[in-house]
Amino acid sequence: MLLTGNKTLRQIAGLAETCNFLFLKLLLKNRAKARQFPGEIFRSYMGLVRDERWACRSIFELFPQAAGNRVVLEHIPCEGLLTPLEQLACLALITKCLQPRAIFEIGTYRGRTALNFALNSPKDCTIHTLDLPPGMRLGDDLRQNSADRDLIRASSPGACYEGKDVAYKIEQLYGDSKTFDFAPYRRSVDIVYVDAAHDYEAVCSDSENALAMVRANGCVIWDEFANYGEYNDVTRGIQDVVGVENIVHVENTQLAVYFQPAD
């Protein structure tokens, strides 16, 4: 039901799958947090069952070479973002394992993930990170998704990495990902990180561009996977463009990974 196009059906299914007394208590205590509850319960269930609608694996099963690796995290509390530290650590580990020369992030916000990619990648890696130009960040005419509108207004690309020692690796790009020209990056990127607009049309378009950019043996990573609520379209978009049978959900995170085969 999570993958149906009908939002009301999805909401009913989400409640039926996850509603319990704790959810009701949370709803009374903190309505905003209660919205996250169905997604968290659903992801925990999918992590425990491991192979139902898609595969769910731990970071160490996906990247056995991650064991023993050390990563550097600079945690900058980012208002409006709920990304847990474990998820940042997974992104850092994947970066350490793949030793990328090029990373492309769609969706900078303030640059927290860009900074962490920079901290864990080789010295000669370039992190291209794309966000809307200042003039397009007013939001209202761009998105139906209210959570996106708030993020777009609050974004300030570069705020988290400017002045840092690794900032030289980061190239800030501006444009709307739905119309941006990704052609120069075709088949040349080791890690593509998709974390921009969360409406269905944008997720499909970003996913198609990500698949075109990733090089052999590289990977595409999406944030906000397996989410009920505002961000549900991420899972639907991935299903329709990539196929959920081709991705793996990273346990204890909202990350999904696609591995581009060798040539």
Ligand X SMILES: C[S@@+](CC[C@H](N)C(=O)[O-])C[C@H]1O[C@@H](n2cnc3c(N)ncnc32)[C@H](O)[C@@H]1O
> Running DSSP on this structure, what letter comes out for residue 46?
H
Q: Is 164 an interacting residue with respect to ligand X (CB under 6 A)?
A: no
Site string for ligand X, 68-87 (x = CB under 6 A): ----------x--x-x----
Q: Which is nearer to ligand X, 83 or 207 (CB)?
A: 83
Candidates 197, 242, 247, 256; binder of ligand X (CB under 6 A) is 197
Q: Which is nearer to ligand X, 52 or 150 (CB)?
A: 150
| Alpha carbon distance 135, 169 (integer Å) | 25
Q: Is 232 an interacting residue with respect to ligand X (CB under 6 A)?
A: no
Give the range of 16-24, 50-58, 126-134, 214-222 binding ligand X by CB under 6 A: 126-134
Contacts with ligand X by CB under 6 A: the residue count is 23
Neighbours of 108 (CB within 10 A): 28
Transcribe 95-142 into DSSP letters. Answer: HHHH--SEEEEE--TTSHHHHHHHHHS-TT-EEEEEE--GGGTT-TTT
Find the shortest distance in angstroms from Cβ 90 to ligand X. Answer: 12
Reported as type and span, the H/E element at residue 250 is strand 247-250
Candidates 17, 40, 176, 230; binder of ligand X (CB under 6 A) is 176
Q: Any idea which residue has 């950019």 for tokens?
A: 213
Phi/psi for 237 (5° steps) reads -65, -45
Q: Which is nearer to ligand X, 157 or 218 (CB)?
A: 157
> Running DSSP on this structure, what letter comes out for residue 254?
S
Site string for ligand X, 135-154 (x = CB under 6 A): -------------x--xx--
Neighbours of 139 (CB within 10 A): 17
Give the range of 32-40, 59-67, 130-138, 182-190 binding ligand X by CB under 6 A: 130-138
Q: Which is nearer to ligand X, 38 or 111 (CB)?
A: 111
Q: Is 131 an interacting residue with respect to ligand X (CB under 6 A)?
A: yes
Residues that bind ligand X (CB under 6 A): 78, 81, 83, 105, 107-109, 112-113, 130-132, 148, 151-152, 155, 176-178, 195-197, 202
